[in-house]
């Protein structure tokens, strides 16, 4: 088999570092391109070369920023498989740092795709991380006629009455798994950036005849997620609170349904779509297939970390959040045979075991809540 060489942008991050391990195991040569963004890595434990200690030394490491002249183009030498994971990833933060988010997400993707369009490369296949956030609200069913509906966001007027569920024309809608066909209604700058990532890669990939797959990731959890970044990763943020003996802060009443998928199931999904030779330009949900509420997640984590601390329901709404969204994961299974293999309880136990060995994180949740409140992004 000819040598396969994967370049992973953002490969020193949470999902990227696991994907490095999985691809090395499958015989790929792997290069990581990462700028080690301070918000993600500033408090991380680093090795003697300044990279996170968890990053596999079997990968070539390129420290560089996608936005800097020539960095991406120079990293492409010999690359056959490209995975774009690098991004700024906080939903709430994206609503205030709009220029930074759009530059680091949209402009960086533009720089990459323009470099590919110059034709001087050996890339045969690409995958890009998209996100559940691009759906906005998930899919629902109207009980009266069992019709499938895709409602827009809840109105400010409704949210001010602290009525959280999805009521339309006097009827309470039932959440159901969201399929890839649902209309996209991104509700934050981050979500718009991720939709752009997906559409930009699919459009240019098709034009250049490089098969391209966008994976719409739901909430990934697992080891190596930054516990010090208060802007992203609900499980990591809750862990950081609990390790500081503080209650996880839950928006609304905590009844929002989400799908938490093990990071290795995410990494394996990337590996499978990259290894396939199917000529596709399409998007796929990646989740665990099981949904739980945010409060259930907080309670499970408290139990596993041996903390007798319940979540604090803020009874407030964070702009950009949706009530319920969890995926129908049948399309990627049908087309690629990808099926999640880890159940939540075992995965969370593993996460708790990892947490026991990391440095105690800073509790920055109050800071991020204060910032969002000052900017009127928490109602």
Q: Is 297 in the site for ligand NAD (CB under 6 A)?
A: no
> Would you say 65 or 165 has its CB closer to ligand NAD?
65
Which of 136, 127, 118, 104 minimizes the C-alpha distance to 39? 104
Rounded Cα distance, 192 and 234, in Å: 20
Q: Strand 174-176 vs strand 139-142: parallel, antiparallel, or unpaired?
A: antiparallel
Instruction: Map the footprint of ligand NAD across residues 155-194, applying CB under 6 A.
Output: 194
Q: Is 219 in the site for ligand NAD (CB under 6 A)?
A: yes
Considering only 6, 44, 59, 87, the residue that binds ligand NAD (CB under 6 A) is 87
The DSSP H or E segment spanning 283 is strand 281-286
In this structure, what DSSP letter does residue 147 have? E
Which of 323, 314, 315, 320 minimizes the C-alpha distance to 366? 314
CB of 237 to ligand NAD, least distance (A): 12
Instruction: Build a one-symbol-per-residue string for 221-250: x at contacts with ligand NAD by CB under 6 A, - elsewhere.
Output: -----x------x-----------------
CB of 231 to ligand NAD, least distance (A): 9
Considering only 7, 89, 106, 372, the residue that binds ligand NAD (CB under 6 A) is 89
Q: Is 321 in the site for ligand NAD (CB under 6 A)?
A: no
CB 205 within 8 A of CB 283: no
- The residue number whose beta carbon is nearest to ligand NAD equals 13
**Span from 79-87, 151-159, 251-259, 336-344 in contact with ligand NAD (CB under 6 A):** 79-87
Six token digits for residue 89: 């990833």
**Span from 10-18, 93-101, 159-167, 357-365 in contact with ligand NAD (CB under 6 A):** 10-18
CB of 168 to ligand NAD, least distance (A): 27
Strand partners, 250: 313
CB of 84 to ligand NAD, least distance (A): 7
**Span from 20-28, 31-39, 149-157, 299-307 in contact with ligand NAD (CB under 6 A):** 31-39
CB of 209 to ligand NAD, least distance (A): 24
Q: Strand 139-142 vs strand 219-221: parallel, antiparallel, or unpaired?
A: unpaired
Instruction: Build a one-symbol-per-residue string for 108-137: x at contacts with ligand NAD by CB under 6 A, - elsewhere.
Output: x--------------------x-x------
Q: Is 347 in the site for ligand NAD (CB under 6 A)?
A: no
> Helix/strand/coil (H, E, C) string of 295-320?
HHHHHHHHHHCCCCCCCEECCCCECC
Q: Is 13 in the site for ligand NAD (CB under 6 A)?
A: yes
Considering only 6, 40, 271, 344, the residue that binds ligand NAD (CB under 6 A) is 40
H-type helices in the chain, by residue range? 14-25, 38-41, 71-75, 91-94, 98-102, 108-117, 156-160, 189-207, 234-243, 263-275, 294-304, 330-336, 344-355, 365-374
Burial of 247 (0-12, 13-18, 19+ CB in 10 A): middle
Six token digits for residue 150: 């895709």
Q: Strand 60-63 vs strand 125-131: parallel, antiparallel, or unpaired?
A: unpaired
CB of 163 to ligand NAD, least distance (A): 28
**Span from 28-36, 180-188, 333-341, 350-358 in contact with ligand NAD (CB under 6 A):** 28-36
Sign of CA dihedral 285, 286, 288, 292: negative
Considering only 59, 83, 217, 269, the residue that binds ligand NAD (CB under 6 A) is 217
Rounded Cα distance, 54 and 84, in Å: 20
Q: Is 10 in the site for ligand NAD (CB under 6 A)?
A: yes
**Span from 37-45, 136-144, 164-172, 363-371 in contact with ligand NAD (CB under 6 A):** 37-45
Q: Which residues contact 293 (CB under 8 A, 6 or more apart)?
A: 254, 255, 256, 257, 258
Please state, as a whole number, how many other Cβ atoms lie within 10 Å of the Cβ of residue 43: 15
Considering only 35, 55, 274, 344, the residue that binds ligand NAD (CB under 6 A) is 35
Which of 56, 26, 46, 79 minimizes the C-alpha distance to 270? 26
Q: Which residues bind ligand NAD (CB under 6 A)?
A: 9-10, 12-16, 33-37, 40-41, 65-67, 85-87, 89, 104, 108, 129, 131, 194, 217, 219-220, 226, 233
């Amino acid at each position: 088999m000819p040598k396969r060489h994967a370049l992973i942008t953002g490969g020193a991050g949470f999902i990227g570092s696991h994907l490095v391990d999985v691809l090395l195991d499958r015989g790929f040569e792997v290069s990581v391109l990462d700028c080690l963004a301070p918000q993600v890595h500033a408090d991380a434990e680093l090795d003697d070369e300044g990279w996170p200690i968890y990053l596999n030394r079997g990968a070539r490491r390129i420290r560089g920023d996608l936005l800097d002249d020539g960095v991406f183009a120079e990293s492409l030498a010999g690359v056959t498989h490209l995975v774009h994971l690098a991004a700024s990833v906080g939903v709430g933060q994206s609503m205030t740092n709009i220029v930074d988010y759009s530059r680091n997400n949209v402009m960086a993707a533009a720089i990459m795709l323009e470099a590919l369009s110059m034709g001087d490369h050996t890339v045969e296949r690409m995958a890009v991380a998209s996100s559940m956030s691009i759906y906005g609200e998930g899919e629902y069913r109207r009980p009266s006629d069992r019709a499938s509906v895709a409602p827009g966001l809840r109105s400010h007027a409704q949210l001010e009455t602290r009525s959280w569920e999805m009521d339309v024309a006097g009827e309470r809608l039932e959440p159901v798994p969201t399929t890839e066909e649902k209309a996209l209604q991104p509700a934050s700058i981050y979500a718009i950036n991720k939709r752009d990532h997906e559409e930009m890669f699919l459009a240019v990939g098709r034009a250049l005849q490089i098969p391209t797959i966008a994976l719409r990731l739901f909430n990934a959890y697992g080891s190596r997620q930054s516990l010090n970044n208060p802007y992203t990763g609900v499980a990591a943020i809750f862990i950081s609170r609990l390790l500081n003996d503080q209650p996880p802060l839950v928006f609304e009443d905590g009844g929002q349904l989400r799908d938490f998928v093990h990071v290795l199931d995410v990494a394996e999904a990337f590996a499978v779509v990259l290894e396939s030779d199917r000529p596709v330009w399409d998007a796929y949900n990646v989740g665990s297939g099981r949904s739980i509420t945010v409060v259930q997640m907080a309670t499970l984590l408290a139990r596993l970390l041996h903390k007798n601390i319940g979540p604090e329901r803020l009874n407030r709404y964070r702009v950009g959040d949706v009530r319920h969204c969890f995926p129908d994961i049948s399309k990627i299974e049908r087309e690629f045979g990808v099926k999640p293999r880890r159940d939540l309880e075992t995965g969370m136990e593993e996460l708790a075991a990892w947490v026991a060995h990391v440095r105690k994180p800073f509790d920055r949740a109050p800071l991020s809540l204060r910032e969002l409140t000052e900017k009127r992004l928490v109602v």
